[in-house]
Amino acid sequence: MSRFEIKEELREDGIRIVSPEGKLDVFSFMELRKYFEDLAAEGKAMMVVVDLKGVDFIASSGWSVLLSRRSAFRRLGGDLTVCGMTENIRRVYDTMKINEMLPVADDVEGGIKILSAPEAV
């Protein structure tokens, strides 16, 4: 099995569910960045939920891709949120105090709700 993989599902309502799997670290963050850059290159307003349930480690480089891509999507009128963090990864997320910059939900449905009502974040 590859050390890091990205799966995706495009829903009928246009929301894209992106599911990375493995370790999101200094060796793999460029794969996720490239994936998001290719999406952004379409120039459309993308609504993306990143489901992290298959990710067992996120280093600073991984967090930064998620944070910076959210900014990029918002500039194009879209948005990005994350969900499905393990307890361990949630502990790191809470410690970083980035909840306002990168909204989190428990699961995909919660992530979709956040995207549907961003003012509630």
Partner 1 sequence: MMGYVFMRFGADFRPENVDRLREKVGECLNRAGIHGSTNFLLLNMMDELICNILEHAKASWVELEVHPREKEVTVIFRDDGPAFNPSPKLTDEAQDKHIDQQVEHAEGRRMGLYIVSQIAKEWQYQRLKNQANELSLRVDLEAQEVKR
> What does the per-residue mask of binding to partner 1 show for 25-64, with x meaning CB under 8 A?
xxx-x---x-----------------------x-xxxxxx
Cβ burial, residue 75 (10 Å; 0-12/13-18/19+): exposed
Q: Which of residues 65-94 bind partner 1 (CB under 8 A)?
A: 65, 67-68, 71, 87-89, 91-92, 94
**Residue 16 vs 86, nearer CB to partner 1:** 86
**Residue 60 vs 116, nearer CB to partner 1:** 60
- Are 19 and 8 in contact by the 8 Å Cβ rule? The answer is yes
Rounded least distance, CB 14 to partner 1, Å:
26
CA 57/CA 26 separation, integer angstroms: 11
Q: What is the dihedral of CA 105, 109, 113, 115, to 10 degrees?
A: 80
Q: Binding residues for partner 1, per CB under 8 A?
A: 3, 23, 25-27, 29, 33, 57, 59-65, 67-68, 71, 87-89, 91-92, 94-98, 101
